[in-house]
Structure 1
Amino acid sequence: MAIWISRYSNKELQSGKYYPVGISIGTPKFPLGYMLRKQCYSLAPKSYMLNMELERFKPAYYEKLEGIGTDRIIDMVQRMDEEARAEGKELVLLCYEDVRVPGDWCHRTVFAEWWAKQTGELIEELYDPSEPKVKKPAAKKESKEPVKKAVEARKEEPGYEQLSLFGLAGI
């Protein structure tokens, strides 16, 4: 049984060799270039989990899965895999994030880890022919205090008057 995980925008999915199933809260609004076969909301995280750090996310997501039931999830994934194999395809569970950069993760990688613990079977990331997108560090927000002081200083300058373009045009 070959089950993969990947992101919706992986161009490899356009080859026609795969049975793509979404496991995200929503479905992509952008063109995929392939047909999404199913959307499995049972494997999607809950919305309150989306901004959690991995250390907090993992137990919360595991609890969600266990609330559904380990046997039910295994049965559900195995049925999707059987449907895929009946068409000569391999099952791929999809969400949005590009996790090829070390340190990046998303719920599908956590699901693959959970699956391995429950079944002993590995689910790996599908080959992606595109270059990984390295996330830029968040820019530091600069204080607006210097700008505010400069504006106040201009107001205090003698003989300085702010003119309106519309006032000059007679509008």
Structure 2
Amino acid sequence: MDVSLATCTYQEFTPDMGTPVRTTVGRPRFPLPYPLTAHAKLVTPTRELLGIKAQDAYEFSYRRLLNERGGIDRIRDELIRIAGAYDLDSPLVLLCFDRMDRLTPPDDWCHRFHFAKYWTEHTGQEVPELGAKPRTSHQQSGLF
């Protein structure tokens, strides 16, 4: 059995996209208009990783963490268990807070971008980003 994955922000996710799965160190501190079903703990970065600002150093450290946690096989098993507990026909949408306004790095990236790359390299399965919608002028000004 395999699992279908996508990524998005908590803020941009809608239930028609799939099954929402937390991949963040902390829970959202704002109300969600949908139930948060599960937490993919093996994909979640550590608080220490969050302090790394250089993308190459972050990616190196995050990949090392993923491998130390059991690598792709153990991560796949965790994600399959989550999918099996919910809707096998629906993709798991791995959520985090970081909004990516452009679809490509180096300008916008976060752990979900690096996890998608890691997953694709190991499984051959693409992981689409469902967010990355351009911000409105109100959002850019901090009003939203």
TM-score (norm 1): 0.68
Mapped to 1, the partners of 2:82 and 2:114 lie a distance apart of 19
Identity rate, percent: 28
Q: Secondary structure of 1:125's match? A: coil
Aligned partners of 1:27, 1:98: CA distance in 2, in Å?
16
SS in 2 for 1:42: coil
C-alpha RMSD over aligned residues = 2.3
- Residue 59 in 1 paired to residue 49 in 2? no
Contact 1:18 1:84 in 2 (8 A): no
1:5-154 to 2 correspondences below 5 Å: 5-10=7-12, 12-15=13-16, 17-52=17-52, 53-70=54-71, 71-86=73-88, 88-101=89-102, 102=104, 103-127=107-131, 131-132=134-135
Following the alignment from structure 2 to structure 1, what is the Cα–Cα distance between the partners of residues 68 and 99? 28
4+ long deviations beyond 4 Å:
133-136
Number of equivalenced pairs? 132
What TM-score results when the alignment is normalised by the length of structure 2?
0.80
List runs of 5+ in structure 2 lacking aligned partners: none
- Larger Cα-atom Rg: 1
Question: For the residues of structure 2 that align with 1:77 and 1:14, how far apart are their CA atoms?
Answer: 18
What secondary structure, in the 3-state scheme, does the structure 1 residue paired with 2:100 have?
coil
Task: Flag structure 1 segments of 5+ consecutive residues without an equivalent.
Answer: 137-171
